[in-house]
Amino acid sequence: MFAQYLTRGVKAGLVAGLVFGLFMAVVANPLVAYADELNHATVEESGHSHEAESAHSHESEGTHSHESEGTHSHGSGDSHAGEGGGHHDTAVSMAVTKAVSVAAGGLWGVVLGGAFFGVAFFFLEPAIPGPDAAKSYLMGLAGFITVSGAPWLVLPPAAPGAEQSLSVATRLPLYAGMMLAGALACLSAGYAYTRLRESSGLPAAIVGAVVPFSLLAALAVVAPENAVHGALSPTLETGLTGLFAFGQVLLWLVLAAAHAWFRLSSESESESAIPTAGRDSAPAAD
Amino acid sequence: MATANTVNGRIERARTELSPTQMAAGALFIAALGFTLLFVQDPLVHDSLHNFRHAAGIACH
Ligand SMILES: [Zn+2]
């Protein structure tokens, strides 16, 4: 049974990975490259590009391992400053970056599918309220809140070239901490909902489910503030941030939809006892 | 199939269905995944993931 769940989760992950890889290739890659070019142009125009880049690199990349290791082929000290200053011809070419990013987009879907819809769903399914298909979508919502939604309350997706006031060394643990807080909020909301639904009825259950998310929002308000100062126009930055957010929402929606769909198909298959194509039904495990 | 349909039931179920070898393999896989995440900090890999990190909303620079 565990193997079945894992297989279904990974299958949903493959579908979502395909969609997100496509999103990377068609939407995200060209836009990041375009934004990088714009940043580059801005730096060129400003005439003191080198000074600007050094300042940027100090602020936005100062604690980054790139700087201290000095393994960049450019070796001029401002090699990675492209992030802050504009041009992004860093250790690897844009073509490689694009290809690797598309592949990573695909893997991202598979990893999330396996972890959330394979492993976590197997254990949590009995505790998730609602009918079967709704459970897939609730799992998707919880996954989105855990991986992206909660951390984004403090650290929203950054547009290329944006400078952030918090250092990387601060932001990474902050991001991880908000992921943990998001997961806890989802788990306790589900727990409160199920408990209160039995004892006190639906209205109380809904209130009980809302409380953990209010606490999450309060936590985001208390968390250190990250001022983002971008080199692009505010409209473009908002657009990019919104688009990256949309990409993750899309990913989780596809994951949930594919997961719900694979449940239906696997149920009808097991009822009619017709073996599937063979390679993915893992009959030995039952 | 008699295990109760609860979270605890599922944990029980995983315990009976999975052999120690499979659980060890799972733990090893998670460790490998963690190691990969550390490896992703390597400049070459990190930079080639640049567009992906933006799209996933976890740009760290
Ligand atoms: Zn960037």
Q: Do B14 and A172 touch (CB under 8 A)?
A: no
Using 70 as the pLDDT threshold, list the residues of chain A that sit under it: 43-91, 266-286
Q: Do A127 and B6 touch (CB under 8 A)?
A: yes
For residue A64, being part of any structural domain is answered with no
For residue A14, being part of any structural domain is answered with yes
For residue B12, being part of any structural domain is answered with yes
B17 in A contact zone (CB under 8 Å): yes
For residue A79, being part of any structural domain is answered with no
For residue A243, being part of any structural domain is answered with yes
How high is the pLDDT of residue A106? Answer: 95
Residue listed under structure tokens 């992206």:
A148
Nearest to B55 by CA among A40, A205, A33, A211: A33
Q: Do A157 and B59 touch (CB under 8 A)?
A: yes
Task: List pLDDT tens digits, range A60-70.
Answer: 443 444 433 33
How high is the pLDDT of residue A38? Answer: 86
Compare all CA atoms of chain A with the CA of B5 and give the residue at the minimum distance: A126
For residue A280, being part of any structural domain is answered with no
For residue B24, being part of any structural domain is answered with yes
For residue A130, being part of any structural domain is answered with yes
Q: Which residues of A touch B9 (CB under 8 A)?
A: 126
Task: List pLDDT tens digits, range B17-49.
Answer: 999 999 999 999 889 888 887 778 788 888 899
For residue B27, being part of any structural domain is answered with yes
For residue A283, being part of any structural domain is answered with no
Q: How many distinct structural domains can be found in chain B?
A: 1
For residue B30, being part of any structural domain is answered with yes
- Residue B58 neighbours by CB under 8 Å, 6+ apart: A151, A175
Distance (angstroms) between ligand 1 centre and the Cα of A82 equals 8
How high is the pLDDT of residue A139? Answer: 97
Q: How many distinct structural domains can be found in chain A?
A: 1
For residue A282, being part of any structural domain is answered with no
Q: How many residues appear in chain A?
A: 286
Does A45 or B54 have the greater pLDDT score? B54
Structural domain of residue A256, as residue ranges? Answer: 2-41+93-273
Structural domain of residue B49, as residue ranges? Answer: 7-55
How high is the pLDDT of residue A55? Answer: 41
B37 in A contact zone (CB under 8 Å): no
Task: List pLDDT tens digits, range A195-219.
Answer: 999 999 999 999 999 999 999 999 9
Angle, helices A234-272 vs A29-46, to 10°: value is 170
Q: How many residues appear in chain B?
A: 61
For residue B23, being part of any structural domain is answered with yes
Q: Do B7 and A126 touch (CB under 8 A)?
A: yes
Surface-to-core class of residue A167, CB atoms within 10 Å of its CB (0-12 exposed, 13-18 middle, 19+ buried):
middle
For residue B61, being part of any structural domain is answered with no
How high is the pLDDT of residue A43? Answer: 66
User: Going along A58-169, which residue ranges are E strands?
Assistant: 163-164
